[in-house]
Structure 1
Amino acid sequence: MEHVTSDLREFITDQVIPHHRCNVNINPDHITMLEGTKIKKQHSRKRRAHKSRTLSRKEYAELGLNTLPTKQMKYEEALPLHNLWKGYVREHLELKEGSEVPEVHDRHYDEFSRQLVKLDLHGAKLKVIESKCRTLENLEGICVMDTKNVLKILSKDNRLRTIPKSQCVFGMKVGNMEFTIFGQHLNIRPAERSVKKIKSCVQPFM
């Protein structure tokens, strides 16, 4: 309990009608609250000042968070990621044992194609079937980074390669099913691709 100064007691007493001042009983607890409490505006300013701020894309890139080491990564280290992806893709595409790719004339084909485009490719085993750059053809490995314009693939020789999406056609295998995917349909960030509404029927899959 804090000590009430004589000046403060006198100030409070002066606010009371003179003939009632003898009945004034000052509660020190109330005085403490009056002196120590901060107004809401001060509290809100303090909270805003200490609020954490997310990094912008530019800051993210400047810190090198968009890059991966090109030589230190091992293919075996990416295999657990691929195993997780296999479970994810079966759940995402609602595949069961013995499932087959819908035929083009099948009523489920359009929806299956849309869901296939929305796949997150982190962990997928991919192969470059065709490319405008001949040196990229037949490269294969596990996708360890999927950005708007490129895929980073870690191959069995433990080399990390950057593959431009728009210039390539990719092959992907899920169980006993094989897909052919035109990279130009993947030119969007994975997080945005997963929620993008695809209006027209996609025809790049076999």
Structure 2
Amino acid sequence: MEHATNDLKEYITDQVIPHQRCNVNINPDHITMLEGTKIKKQHSRKRRAHKSGTLSRREYAELGLNTLPTKQMKYEEALPLHNLWKGYVREHLELREGAEVPQVHDPRYDEFSRQLVKLDLHGAKLKVIQSKCRTLENLSGICIMDTKNVLKLLGRDHRLRTIPKSECVFGLRVGNMDFTIFGQHLNIRPAERSVKKIKSYVEPFM
């Protein structure tokens, strides 16, 4: 501490004009020395990626959670799901009793078409009205599972059938309105389809 004080006195004295340095009088009690500390380097720590508590799609598939029994399900067991879907679709499309499909020149037509494309089909009664595979035509049932590429329909004969979307045209009835759905426009997961921005010129429903 004393050595540092002497160095400071010499430095201050050197700043004074030489012929006046003899008049410099420094009181040690008026000197306050601040001792600095070395700044510790902060080592950046990489955040460990915490594994999500939800299952990945691969784990989901490996556990067989995306499969359904083909023979144990009964058509009557799917009817409550269909009844729920009927209430959902009326609320989603804002349909009232006796409502009709807006015509092309109607201002509501574009928005109505977009909402149709975003429909969740779980619980809907669908019928294959046209297909590249003739054996699939006229098959119908309640949609139990809607994936990116296929629909799984439970028929009145209690059989669960897997129908490829891209190769089929489906018929859908809502109240007194009949719609034709082109499956190639539904090749997207339902959760993604509900938030996907739909281009106005795409008309998968007729």
Whose radius of gyration is greater, 1 or 2?
Answer: 2
Q: Structure 2 counterpart of 1:162, which letter? A: T
Q: Structure 1 counterpart of 2:63, which letter? A: L
Match of residue 30 from structure 1:
none
Per-residue deviation at 1:199? 2.2
Structure 1 gaps, min length 5: 1-44
Q: Structure 2 counterpart of 1:204, which letter? A: P
Per-residue deviation at 1:52? 6.0
Number of positions where the alignment pairs a residue of Structure 1 with one of Structure 2: 160
Alignment pair present for 1:134 and 2:121: no
Work out the CA distance in 2 between the residues paired with 1:202 and 1:111.
12
Work out the CA distance in 1 between the residues paired with 2:201 and 2:65.
35
SS in 2 for 1:53: coil
**Segments ≥4 residues shifted beyond 4 Å:** none
TM-score between both structures, scaled by the size of structure 2: 0.74
Work out the CA distance in 1 between the residues paired with 2:204 and 2:60.
33
Q: Structure 2 counterpart of 1:160, which letter? A: L
Work out the CA distance in 1 between the residues paired with 2:125 and 2:202.
21
Match of residue 184 from structure 1:
184
Match of residue 58 from structure 1:
58
Q: 1:1-206 counterparts in 2 under 5 A?
A: 53-206=53-206
TM-score between both structures, scaled by the size of structure 1: 0.74
SS in 1 for 2:142: strand
Q: Structure 2 counterpart of 1:137, which letter? A: E
Match of residue 34 from structure 1:
none
Please, what is the CA RMSD of the aligned residues? Answer: 1.7
Work out the CA distance in 2 between the residues paired with 1:198 and 1:122.
20
Per-residue deviation at 1:66? 0.7
For residues 120-165 of structure 1, the C-alpha deviation after alignment (integer angstroms, 9 at most, x for no partner) is 0000000000000000000000000000000000000000000000
SS in 1 for 2:87: helix
SS in 1 for 2:127: strand
SS in 1 for 2:78: helix
Work out the CA distance in 2 between the residues paired with 1:194 and 1:149.
16
Identity of aligned residues (%): 86
Structure 2 gaps, min length 5: 1-47
Per-residue deviation at 1:106? 1.5
Work out the CA distance in 1 between the residues paired with 2:103 and 2:196.
24
Work out the CA distance in 2 between the residues paired with 1:100 and 1:64.
42
Work out the CA distance in 1 between the residues paired with 2:191 and 2:203.
22
For residues 10-52 of structure 1, the C-alpha deviation after alignment (integer angstroms, 9 at most, x for no partner) is xxxxxxxxxxxxxxxxxxxxxxxxxxxxxxxxxxx9xx98x86
For the Cα contact (< 8 Å) 1:113–1:201, is it kept in 2?
Answer: no
